[in-house]
Amino acid sequence: MRVQNVEVPHESDRGLSATRSGPVRAAAWDQPQSVRQRFMVPKQGSDPRVLPQTPLEGGTPNPPRAPRSPQAAFTMVEIALCLAIVGFALVAIIGVLPTGLQVQRENNLDTVVNQEGMYFLEAIRSGSQGLDELMRYVDGVRSYSSNRAPLAMMPPALNGRVIIGLLSRPYATNVAKVRAITGSAAEKSVALTNFSFGYLLTTQVIPLTNAFAAPALTDPYVYAEAQVLSSNAYQLVLTLQWPLLPDGPTVGGLPQWRAGDNVKVFRTLVSCELTNPYPFFPALYFFEPSTFVGYR
C-alpha cells in the first residue's frame, strides 16, 4: 500500500498553522468519524478529551488522562469576613452564658427548696417519729422564746424523733440548720458536707385559741363547737432561708446561725391534738392526726 506523509491538523485546531506530521492515510479528513478517531493523534499540548491517544503502527497505547476540573477557593477577604461573623457570634454567646447558668442554678435551688419545704411540712403535720435519716442532714435544732431567749437545743447526735418533736414545739420559734435532702447525689457524700447546699429552717406552731371563741355566742351547742375547734386548730408556718453563711459571733455560748436573703414561706392549718408524749423531755411535741380533743 502506498503511504505518503501529510500534515494532519488536530480536530480542535482545524484552520490553525500548528500541525503535526505522521504516517497516516491520505485524505484523513475524508474518512468516517470512527476511522479518524482510530488513526489520528492529538497534538502536543492540545486537550486530550478531544481524541483518544491511539498509536498509529501498533505498540502500547498511552493511558488516558483524567479531565481537569476548574478549581474554586475562598479569597482572603471572604475568610476574614467569615471569621469576623463567627467572632461576633461567639462574643454574644459568651456574654449570655453566665446569665443562663445563674438562672439555671436559681431554678434548681427553687425546686430543691419547694421539695424540702413540703417534706418537712408533711413530716411535722403528720407527727412523724421514725425519720432517723434526718440525722444525716440536720446539724442542730434550737428553740427560742419570743424575746430570742434559748429554750432548748438539740445536738446532732439525737434521732429523727427529737428533730420533729423540737420543730413542733408551740409558742416558740424553732430553728434548724439543714443540708439539702434532695438534689444532686454527688453532694451527699461526707467529704462534700461543707460544700453542699444548705438552709435555715424556722418553724412556728401557733394555736388558734381565740379564733373561734366568741363571748357573744349564746347558743350552748355553738359555743361548745367553737371551743372544740379552738382546742384543735393550729397554724403551722415554715420559713426557709438560703444559702447558709458562715456562723456569726457567739451569743450566750452559741454561735449565731446566718443565711442569705432568699426566703420562702409555707403555711398550713392543722386540725388535731398536739401532745407531749415524753414527760422526761417536755420540749418535744407531736401532732396526732387521729386524735381530736373534745369539749372540756
pLDDT higher for 1 or 78? Answer: 78
Looking at residue 111, its amino acid is T
From the number of C-beta atoms within 10 Å of its C-beta (0-12, 13-18, 19+), residue 284 rates as buried
Q: What is the pLDDT of residue 21?
A: 47
Mean pLDDT of 148-165: 78
Mean pLDDT of 179-192: 79
Q: What is the pLDDT of residue 66?
A: 61
Confidence of residue 121 (pLDDT cuts 50, 70, 90): very high
Confidence of residue 185 (pLDDT cuts 50, 70, 90): confident
- Where in 2-43 does DSSP place strands (E)? 6-8, 20-22
| pLDDT averaged over every residue in the chain | 77
Please state which of the ranges 6-15, 93-102, 192-201, 215-224 shows the lowest mean pLDDT. 6-15
Q: Longest Cα pair distance anywhere in the chain, in angstroms?
A: 149
- Where in 183-282 does DSSP place strands (E)? 198-207, 233-245, 250-251, 254-255, 258-271, 273-275
Taking the C-alpha atoms of residue 10 and residue 16, their distance in angstroms, rounded to an integer, is: 9
Domain extent at residue 248: 112-288
Among 178, 175, 169, 203, CA closest to 116: 178
**Structural domain includes residue 100:** no
Percent of the chain residues past pLDDT 90, beyond the cut:
28
Q: What is the pLDDT of residue 39?
A: 47
Is the pLDDT reported for residue 186 higher than 80? no
Gap between the terminal Cα atoms of the chain: 145
**Structural domain includes residue 173:** yes
Q: What is the pLDDT of residue 283?
A: 85
Taking the C-alpha atoms of residue 117 and residue 207, their distance in angstroms, rounded to an integer, is: 21
pLDDT higher for 124 or 252? Answer: 124
**Structural domain includes residue 192:** yes
Taking the C-alpha atoms of residue 162 and residue 278, their distance in angstroms, rounded to an integer, is: 10
Measured over the CA atoms of residue 156, residue 161, residue 165 and residue 167, the dihedral's sign is positive
Residue listed under C-alpha cell 432561708: 241
**What confidence tens digit (pLDDT) does each residue in 257-267 have?**
999 999 999 99
Q: What is the pLDDT of residue 72?
A: 74
Give backbone dihedrals phi and psi of 194, rounded to 5 degrees, phi first.
Answer: -75, -10
Percent of the chain residues past pLDDT 70, beyond the cut:
69
DSSP designation for 170: B
Q: What is the pLDDT of residue 123?
A: 95
**Structural domain includes residue 154:** yes
> In degrees to the nearest 10, what's the CA dihedral of 214, 218, 220, 226?
-20
Is the pLDDT reported for residue 18 higher than 50? no
Give backbone dihedrals phi and psi of 92, rounded to 5 degrees, phi first.
Answer: -65, -40
**Structural domain includes residue 274:** yes
Q: What is the pLDDT of residue 151?
A: 76
**Structural domain includes residue 94:** no
Omega before 63 within 30 of 0, i.e. cis: no
Taking the C-alpha atoms of residue 222 and residue 217, their distance in angstroms, rounded to an integer, is: 7
Taking the C-alpha atoms of residue 163 and residue 142, their distance in angstroms, rounded to an integer, is: 10
**What confidence tens digit (pLDDT) does each residue in 217-250 have?**
566 777 777 777 778 889 999 999 999 998 888 8
**Structural domain includes residue 195:** yes
**Structural domain includes residue 186:** yes
pLDDT higher for 16 or 57? Answer: 57
Overall domain count for the chain: 1
Q: What is the pLDDT of residue 20?
A: 46
* Count of Cβ atoms closer than 10 Å to residue 244 Cβ: 20
Taking the C-alpha atoms of residue 189 and residue 273, their distance in angstroms, rounded to an integer, is: 38
